[in-house]
Structure 1
Amino acid sequence: MSLHSPDLPPDLLPLAQMPWFKRLAARFFGHGLTRLRAQHRASWLHGQADGFRSGHTAGFDYGYKEGRAEGLEAGRQVLLIRDSRSTEHPAPQVDDLLFDDWRLPLTAELKKRIKADVARLLPAHAQPSSGQWKMIFSDTPATSVVAGAGAGKSTTLVLRIVLLSQYLGFELDSMTVVTFTRESRKDFIQKLIEMFALWGRTVSQKEARDLVRTFHSRILPMVRSLPGFERLQAFETLSHRAGADEDDAQGNPFDLRINDAQRQQLNACYYNLHQRDERFRELIQPLSRHALQLKELERDHPDVQKRVAVTELAAQRDEALCDAIEDLWFRAGAWPIKGIEPKRQVFEINGARFHCHGYIKSLDTWVMLGFDPRENPQLSRPGAKLSVRAEWAVKRTLFQAFCRKPLIWLDKYEDSKRLLSAVAGDVSAGPGFDYKVKGELTSAPLLDCFVAAAGFIENLGLDVPEAVGRMCFSSNDPDRYFFEALSRFWRAFEDHLLDQSPPVMTYNRMFALFSEHSPENFKLLDDALLRPLSHLMIDEFQDVSPQIVSWLRASLREVRRRSAALHTGRGAQRSSLLCVGDDWQSIYGWRGSSPSFFMAFNKQFPSPTHTRVMLTDNYRSHQHIIDAAEHIVRGAAAIPGKKAKASGAPRLASPVTVLDRDDEGLARRLDEHYRNGDTILMLYRKSSDKLLIDKHIQSIVNVDSSLPYPQRRLRQMTYHSAKGLQADAVFLLGDCQHLTSSPYKNQVYRMAGLGQDGDTEPYDAAQKDEILRLAYVGITRAVQHCYWYVDGQDNQAANAPKASDRIGVGKPFFKDHRRARG
């Protein structure tokens, strides 16, 4: 391609094509003319031509490049097909919902008709509130109802059943209402029968009992349907009592007192395991030695500080004291003890010499005899200023604080028999000694401790040997031996129970068979066993354990999996769950329950839709009672937005009265309320407190107990036993305190995923909240009056968290009459 125009005259060649001397001359003259501002036509023409050519070339190059680029882009837009498909291959999402996406068929017309019927059939004071109607009419598959104390939840729950059955045609055998205790079950059955009668329908006792159940009475038929387990018995309901009603035997699922029939099985298993398992025998030895030895006492303990000053004086009278104590044991036929060598070994305590009474060679342990509590506490040695009991108490305190040799201190004559069995190796009647796991308040027979610890671990949904294998203890901690022994014993015990005829199984083992860890076992169940779980209504849901939650979720998944096959030809279709509870009334964490499942209900029970109902009306207490209880409990983690209000006609609101412990004053005040015709609840934390109070109110107890049961107006029980009850006047005896730390429970709590992330003591943290909830339960039993008698601080509880720390100073709902604290 030519870079100059063919139309130019030949004499106007580009300068670049001219001979070099001509180019030099042209530029020289052109430059000179330019300076003279003269014009030379040829030069001008050559310049014009050069400009034209260079501009044309540059323009052509630019245009060509731009046009070519635009053309290519236009061509791509027309010809290139963009592929928007993903290069990844994700799997389909998993449907982990427990329910189908459905709604209860409640039309506006039907709701209007139901409300009209309730207005006609129920008295004015029993008409549901707006919140209660929301609970009754909830149409989602999953519903959680936060019902505070005195919220009238039982009546509302019965109306929900009437709605499902009378208006929607759901069969009663498609439903289960779960209550936690035998008493609450009986009350609910009666309410159900009476409510259906208002609608002209007769519900028999059997129909009502089949509908209103405990968790335990639902799991038992499931296991009994398995081959070989048709006559299975639950360990918790074993009894030598003829005709025991096992459906009613489970009063409180968190309360297990070992009876004779149960202890017989425990002892038999222990004997067999002790005979055949060498490692188990090795583990029992240090436990026995630790259990029998005198427990240490801190040297800064006030009793030690008080008695150490008389160490020398006590040493001077010690041999005479030993003689007096031995004489008492000898007269009681409890000394000498076979297997114990009578031997006055000398011990040095702070430079002073004291003596013991005997030596056990097999245990390499010394023995000290104590003052039996049945002896006269005023008994004295001739010429002694102190009683024998007081002298013995001084010596015992000094040995607890300063003796570091292995020493067994026998406090009672009966202890000699138990020690004799332990020394002789006789295990036919069980271990023969008590044990105290760290964190527990009291010691108990070793096998009772096994049952309690295994129950706690299993309530958390854990396997005992697996959990024990994940625990960690210091090398000198006796609990290390305890839990290894528990692991071996518990597996042997479950096998031992199954070998009985008929076979026996613990309830926890039953729930584990049908938990989320064993979904394949549901394939063995007939539809008839699952259909009653289609529409579940659970009361006191805040007290469920992880074990129960796992069983519930697994059951609901199986109900959904069977789908239409489970409901063919029935009015009740699909499945639903309605849970009623109050996280502020969760008080069984010490046995493995947790309010976290209720607080995180939507997450724990995934559903296409959820409904939450807040019942804030309190039909029991006046506002001061409500406000005082809520003020105490607000320090605990809780569902947000809770605030109850007194319902009904306004009443005179008397504040919660807080007083120092005064048993005589309590008795006078209680007598006054009883003579005024009030119903009374006296709640205590320790059985010893009840015995002390009984001395002062015995006359009232005698009068009240002589009346027919419905007319009795005085009831005495623990805080825990009072849930669900109420009285005109409530007397609270003792504080609610978290006294100990439980290393093993903290560990298994973490294993179960309970507590806050990173919390090394999640169980202890939960218990600090629980003491506040326990006080809330106690206060909210009161209809009109509440008196709280708080103990003075003792050495054990001086720094322990307690509910009374939350009493509001200057609040109108508290009247604090306690003396100023020093």
Structure 2
Amino acid sequence: MANEQPKALAELTPPTRLPWLKRLIAQCLGRGLTRIQAQHPHSWWLGHADGQHQGRGEGERAGFERGHAQGYEAGQQVLVIRDHRPDTPAIPGQDDHLFEDWRLALTAELKKRFKADVAQRLPSHAQPSAAQWKLIFSDTPSTCVVAGAGAGKSTSLVLRILLLRHYLGYEFDAMTVVTFTRESRKDFIKRLVQVFALWDVHLQPAQARELVRTFHSRILPLVRSLPGFEQVRAFETLGNEMPAGREAEADSNPFDLRLNDAQRQQLNHCYSALLAHSPRFAELIGHLRNEALQLKPLDPDNPEVQKRAQVTQLAAQRDEELCDVIEDLWFAAGAWPIQGIEPMRDTVEIRGCRFHVHGRLGATGPWVVLGFDPSESAQYQRPGAKLAVRAEWAVKRTLLQAFCDQPLIWLDNYAMARRLAASLAGDAVAGPGFEYKVKGELSAAPLLDAFVSAASFIENLGLEVNTAIADMRFVPGDSDALFFEALALYWKAFEAHLLDQFPPVMSYNRMFALFGENNPENLQLLPDPLLRPLAHLMIDEFQDVSPQIVSWLRASLREIRRRGPGLNVGRHAQHSSLLCVGDDWQSIYGWRGSSPKYFTEFTKAFPTPASTRVMMVENYRCQQQVIDAAEHLVKGTSTIAGKKARAAGPAAELAGSPVKVFERDEAALGQTLIEHYQRGESVLMLYRKGNDRAAMSEHLEPVLQAEAAVPPEQRRLRQLTYHSAKGLQADAVFMLGDCQYLTSSPYKNQVYRQAGLGKAGDPQPFDTAQKEEVQRLAYVAVTRAVQHCYWHVEPANGDAAVAARASSRVDGRQDCFEDCRGR
């Protein structure tokens, strides 16, 4: 039929030929039909031919079209499967590694020769352990060495330097060893010279000093290479300048913020100028002064307050005469009247009684009350009085603190009054003349000291002071908001003031920031010889590194890689590397802005194509029970997994002795110390607070007299704070005072979050870190002991915050502790 679709190819196949009999019958039947005109032969043949021809043509055409379509589709599918070219142009990926993918050229033959030389030239007790050899022979671009207390890391680093220099030919000016303190630098230089001499290599002390540096001494030459800063001085070294050309060797503790007179002079001059030119700064200082000097309130329900409240009426009756006596003492000392304070004998009401004040700060400021100066005799009395003036005044002060609802300034002593007078008179040398206590700090500090401390903490975290302050938030009425607004104004003016000096002055933090990750273009200005010493860095005590330093290190390593092979043409030392040694359990400077995060997350902080981790678990200093006790103290802190030290070498042969814990008793402590000293042992007396040293002097008198009679190198007693004892050791260690964190720092919690430190979601990340740090501080103190350790701590007295004390980790059920408290 006309509309019938073409048949399939199989259906058009001719049928099989019929047998001859059936063909004969068909022909006869066909002829019969033709005779009776039932069919027309010509038409039949014509139709048959046309039909066959037309059907064949249509079949061929349909078959071709269908075959073409199927073939094209099949061919197209083959092309899609086999062609993987993207529709858009390819864009190369970014390599964020700080290092090229290279390996140190250490052959098996070289390792064998070096080991043989070490075995021959070093004594048997100084032979490296398997872990130490892994450090020495690390061939990857970065190496992280977890080395606990007494692990022998210094010897391993010295041998690493010997390998690089003496066996591989690395130039000294392509290497830097970084230590944190003056003492550790001196010790390392001495050991380096001694070991090189065993190989008949005469390393000059000057060469060793150039190789072994502090971060501060390495950054100074970089800044001095910039146009206009050729003679720049560091603010931290003002007043302690070294001879010309030696400043680069300056040693300074990155966490020592004590100010000297030369530094205070610069601070005060800037303060005076800003006070005169900035009305807002002057207004803020006025508010802060009133806040700082005002008498702090006491709880009226305090038992001591209730006791003194019973004599309120009697104290009021004698108050006017008492004020006369006090004024006479101040007048005789030349401390009264005070310029800027209007003498005005007025009264305030306390519990229905009238008490007198001595003056007023300005026309509308707070009332001023004069105190009893400590230099006056404690037995001084009014004529006919039963109590000493000092006791009468103590009663009045308590009543004013608990029950006076008006702002009051209480001048405790003559010196405080003189500082305030100089400040009010605009004396540039005097500065603000009052102290301020930022919330969370242990004590008040002179205002400009508090400025330096807060700004340094912020900058150590790698933040800009003004930017960080702008992101802070304080509740309404919080005086810290005024403090930080004033700091933002002052710090900007102070940095400009330092740069205006001749020669210019700059803080170390500003120097590191100039060459940090936010200013990579400055590093590109450095000539190759200044950048080359940073190519192969070996850093000790890396757990105490700050975010500011990390930013500088990363930026420097990135610039070294950017310059490529051209930096070291014709030299044996090629590429760059970073080897960091540390112990996260000894990270104890978080209160100044350091963080163990960059050590515990080393490969994340310093991306590299290959890295080596070394775990040095041998302790060559302490007997095992001291080790176990120290590790138990830090058991609850965040730490690197798999750490467990064991006594090794001579320390493994020492008799065990548990760490003994007592309630604080200076006399008993002193007696035990004397016993150990008389046995000929070396002794460390460690204090949690520096002022405890004076309290112990009378109990250590025999030892102090004996020490005074011998040369310094023969003395066996050292007295230090817990922090300053790091790196030292003694046969017997005596610890006075608990390690505890019982406060909270709102501003440090805020900037800690800004710096990305702490755990996500922790509203108080700095406080959390400090609660762990006090446990690590106890660990540091205990691991100074070779064989004996005695720890005297204050009684808990039901303190709700006892969990924040390191001594709460002491477990008398453990063999490593002997808890003698309560006996």
TM-score by length of 1: 0.88
Asked whether 1:693 is paired with 2:700, we answer: no
Contact 1:585/1:776 (8 A) holds in 2: yes
Q: Map of 1:650-799 to 2, 5 A cutoff?
A: 650-793=653-796
Between 1:68-77 and 1:334-343, the stretch displaced more is 68-77
- Matched residue, 1:463: 464
AA at the equivalent of 1:231: Q
Checking the alignment, whether the CA contact within 8 Å between 1:183 and 1:251 is kept in structure 2 is no
Q: What percentage of residue pairs aligned between the two structures are identical? A: 63
**After alignment, is 212-221 or 238-247 more displaced?**
238-247
Partner of 1:158: 158
Q: Quick one: distance in 2 between partners of 1:321 and 1:400? A: 18
Report the equivalent of 1:33. none
Give the match's secondary structure for 1:143: strand
For residue 437 of structure 1, report the CA deviation from its aligned partner: 1.2
1:77 to 52, 74, 79: 74
Q: Which amino acid aligns with 2:73?
A: R
**Residue 171 (structure 1) aligned with residue 174 (structure 2):** no
Alpha-carbon distance change, 535 to 369 in structure 1, aligned in 2, over 3 angstroms: same
- Kept in 2, the 8 Å contact 1:739–1:797? The answer is no
Quote the Cα distance in structure 1 between the aligned partners of 2:812 and 2:310.
42
Cα distance change of structure 1 residues 334 and 132 upon mapping to structure 2, 3 Å threshold: same
For the residues of structure 2 that align with 1:572 and 1:424, how far apart are their CA atoms?
A: 62
Deviation per CA, 1:34-66: give whole Å up to 9, x if none.
xxxxxxxxxxxxxxxxxxxxxxxxxxxxxxx9x
SS in 1 for 2:334: coil
**Alpha-carbon deviation of 1:84?**
4.6
Shift of 1:522: 1.4
Q: CA deviation at 1:363?
A: 5.1
Distance 1:447 1:243 in 2: 29
Distance 1:794 1:507, change over 3 A: farther
Separation of aligned partners in 1, 2:307 and 2:744: 28
* Structure 1 residues 803 and 87: CA distance shift in structure 2, 3 A: same
Aligned pairs, number: 762
Question: Given residue 205 of structure 1, which amino acid in structure 2 is its aligned partner?
Answer: P
Alpha-carbon distance, 1:355 to partner: 2.5
Over residues 663-695 of structure 1, what are the superposed CA-to-partner deviations in whole Å (9 max), with x where a residue is unaligned?
A: 111111111111111111111121221111112
| 1:295 counterpart SS class | coil
- The corresponding residue for 1:213 is 213
Q: In structure 2, the residue corresponding to 1:345 is in which secondary structure?
A: strand
Q: Aligned partners of 2:537 and 2:149: how far apart in 1?
A: 22
Tell me the residue number matched to 1:437.
438
SS of corresponding position for 1:474: coil
- In the other structure, the counterpart of 2:252 is 251
- Unaligned 5+ runs, structure 1: 8-64
The one-letter code matched in structure 2 to 1:640 is A
What secondary structure does 2:180 align onto? coil
- The CA deviation at 1:377 is 2.2
Aligned partners of 2:216, 2:240: CA distance in 1, in Å? 20
Question: Deviation string for 1:548-569 (max 9, x for gaps)?
Answer: 0000001001111111111111
In structure 1, how many angstroms separate the alpha carbons of the residues matched to 2:150 and 2:706? 29
Of residues 811-820 and 243-252 in structure 1, the stretch that sits farther from structure 2 once superposed is 243-252
Matching residue of 2:357: 356
Shift of 1:798: 5.5
Contact preservation (8 Å) 1:739, 1:796: no
After TM superposition, the structure 1 = structure 2 runs for residues 24-35 of structure 1, keeping only pairs within 5 Å, are none
Take 1:546 and 1:679, find their aligned partners in 2: how far apart are those partners?
A: 38
> How far apart, in 1, do the equivalents of 2:639 and 2:122 lie?
34
- Equivalent positions of 1:230-269 (< 5 A) are 230-239=230-239, 243=243, 246-247=247-248, 249-269=250-270
Partner of 1:47: none
Report what 1:131 is aligned to. 131
Match of 1:367 in 2: 368
After the TM superposition, which of the residue ranges 550-559 and 74-83 deviates more from structure 2?
A: 74-83
1:808 equivalent to 2:805? Answer: no
Given the alignment of the two structures, is residue 568 of structure 1 paired with residue 565 of structure 2, yes or no? no
1:423-466 CA distance string (max 9 Å, x none) = 43444531111111111111111111111111111111111111
Tell me, in whole angstroms, the C-alpha distance in 2 between the residues paired with 1:801 and 1:103: 46
Change (3 A) 1:777 1:70: farther
Distance 1:468 1:654, change over 3 A: same
**Contact persistence 2:231–2:503 (CA under 8 A):** yes
Query: Structure 1 residues 461 and 90 mapped into 2: Cα distance closer, same or farther (>3 Å)?
Result: farther
In structure 2, stretches of 5+ residues that fail to align are: 5-10, 19-61
Change (3 A) 1:457 1:780: same
Within-5 A mapping of 1:53-452:
76-78=73-75, 80=77, 81-82=79-80, 84-87=84-87, 91-239=91-239, 243=243, 246-247=247-248, 249-362=250-363, 364-382=365-383, 384-452=385-453
Q: Is the 8 A contact 1:739 1:800 kept in 2?
A: no
Determine the structure 1 residue equivalent to 2:613: 612
State the AA in 2 paired with 1:642: K
Q: Which residues of 2 match residues 545-624 of structure 1 at below 5 A?
A: 545-624=546-625
Alpha-carbon distance in structure 2 between the residues aligned to 1:149 and 1:275? 53
* Residue identity matched to 1:228: G
Following superposition, the deviation at residue 124 of structure 1 comes to 0.7
1:713–1:135 CA distance, 2 compared to 1 (3 A): same
Amino acid at match of 2:327: E
Asked if the contact 2:316/2:354 (under 8 Å) is kept, the reply is yes
Change (3 A) 1:609 1:420: same
Contact 1:289–1:363 under 8 Å retained in 2: no
Structure 2 counterpart SS, 1:356: strand
Distance across 1 between alignment mates of 2:486 and 2:413: 28
Tell me which amino acid in the other structure corresponds to 1:424.
A
For residues 391 and 757 of structure 1, do their structure 2 counterparts lie closer, same or farther at Cα, with a shift above 3 Å needed? same
- Give the C-alpha shift of residue 471 in structure 1: 1.2
* Shift in alpha-carbon separation, 1:306–1:156, aligned structure 2, 3 A: farther
2-side partners of 1:438 and 1:795: how far apart? 24
Report what 1:486 is aligned to.
487
Tell whether the 8 Å contact from 1:461 to 1:547 is kept in structure 2 after alignment: yes
TM-score by length of 2: 0.88
Distance 1:501 1:703, change over 3 A: same
- RMSD across aligned positions (CA): 2.5
Post-superposition shift, 1:311? 3.7
Would you say the 8 A contact 2:740–2:804 is kept in 1? yes
Distance 1:97 1:639, change over 3 A: same
- The answer on whether the counterparts of 1:237 and 1:250 sit within 8 Å (CA) in structure 2 is no
| Aligned equivalents of 1:103, 1:210: Cα separation in 2 | 26
Separation of aligned partners in 1, 2:386 and 2:469: 53
Q: Look up the equivalent residue of 1:175 and give its one-letter code.
A: M
Q: Which moved more, 1:811-820 or 1:639-648?
A: 811-820
Determine the C-alpha separation between the residues in 1 that align with 2:800 and 2:387: 30
Query: Aligned partners of 1:90, 1:633: CA distance in 2, in Å?
Result: 52
In 1: Cα distance, 2:434 partner to 2:515 partner: 36
**TM-aligned CA distance change 1:448 to 1:641, over 3 Å:** same
Q: CA deviation at 1:186?
A: 0.7
Question: What's the counterpart of residue 20 of structure 1?
Answer: none
SS in 2 for 1:343: strand
How far apart, in 1, do the equivalents of 2:171 and 2:280 lie? 56
Check conservation: 1:237, 1:246, Cα contact below 8 A: no
Q: Quote the Cα distance in structure 2 between the aligned partners of 1:201 and 1:242.
A: 30
Query: What whole-Å deviation, never above 9, does each CA across 1:614-670 have from its counterpart, x for those lacking one?
Result: 000000001111111110111111111110001124211111111111111111111
Q: CA 1:87/1:808 → structure 2, altered by over 3 Å: closer, same or farther?
A: farther
**1:521-536 residue pairs with structure 2 within 5 A?**
521-536=522-537
Partner SS for 2:524: helix
**Aligned partners of 1:347, 1:816: CA distance in 2, in Å?**
54
Q: Deviations over 1:183-212 (max 9, x none)?
A: 111110010000011111110011101100
Q: Distance in 2 between matches of 1:526 and 1:153?
A: 33
Comparing 252-261 with 324-333, greater Cα deviation is found at: 324-333
